[in-house]
Structure 1
Amino acid sequence: MKNYILFLFLIISSCNSTTSQVEPLAKGEEQFLNRENKIINLYTTAAVPLFNDYKCINIPAKLQVDEKDYSINAGAAIDYIEISRGLINLESSTIQLFVLAHELAHIATLSQAKSFGLPGEIPAGKRTNEYKKAEYLADLIAFHLILKQRPEDFNFLKSNFSFLISLLGNGDFTHPSGQERIASIKKYILETEEQNIDIAFKNRFNKIFYMN
């Protein structure tokens, strides 16, 4: 994903005394920018605060947009989060929050593993490679933090597992299928019903980390 998104505000006035000649935005463009500002606000006020307890990770300050991608998609790197135009256009802010939290969770995964006394890299299993494990772990961290801090959003996600399975797709070499990913989350939820949620989180994290 390319450069940081720089236009959080639209400057429509000239710096000199002459009348501005900037043409008004077309209705579709204005609508898109409004949605873009909403997801930027969601990122800064809802997604990022989920990770306040992770003191040793570098949370990207800004989002950047892939305007050519109309699928519901996002990606994370060391210094940015990239989101697709399709994600911006999505009506559900809770699904958007999960996608953003999942990407931030990738950045937090190794820090979380270290706090549990696990190695500094995810080991590959015979049937589940380290890339797929990273996806399972990012899902787990996102769901756990949303459960602890935003239970209403958690309940919405829980009631929309069918949509999430469809959204997460059929899987590939680096990603488990949506069916597999939600099955993993359901195991975590079942454990939270039987014990303290932090213990359930730690147990599920360990099981995924050493998954065969």
Structure 2
Amino acid sequence: MSASPQTRHTNKLLTRAFYSRSPETVARALLGKLLIRDLHGERLTGRITEVEAYLGLTDPASHAYRGLTPNNFPLFGPPGHTHVYFIYGMYYCLNAAAHLPGEAGGVLIRAITPIDGIETMAHLRRVSLNARPKLLTGGPGRLCQALDITRKNSNDLDLTSPNSPIQIADDGTHPTDIQITPRIGLSKAADRPLRFLTSETTKTRSPKAHIKTPVKK
């Protein structure tokens, strides 16, 4: 499937250096970037509109807070690797490891605006195409469903590799309407202003999207 004009040219794959900064800095910089998923030869693409930063060993809400474990090791490894975890016995969440040398941390990708592969996203989400396509990927669990991202198939991937099935690229878009709020759905460190979003985020959420039982992996 060919890419749309929005994603066909002038895309630059984000480098290791991009992710080798504080999670807060990387989170803000990820807004407007393209999240690209190669799924069995089809390109699924969306523009990142909402993220949250998790600061590692100094952040009680971070999966890295209690130190290195078999489940959170990507957050301590090379910046720019994926960290995928499972919540509520139902949903996966996608993070990008982001931290300074010798530290740990990451950025949770909470929402994208779909661009390429919308029909496939709707099929994976079991959402009717009668709903607006941009409503498919509001929230980290929905995003992973729409892109078929699971811990088994997507954990510890190198986002900076041109051969990776998941990449993040820069097409020159720089949002100017960035909002900063506390992170949501947390019981610890919930007051820290580490959630970053653009006005496009509101277009990915709607009660009109009729969601069926998630596909089991």
TM-score, normalised to structure 2, is: 0.27
Higher strand share: 2
TM-score, normalised to structure 1, is: 0.27
Larger Rg: 1
Higher helix share: 1
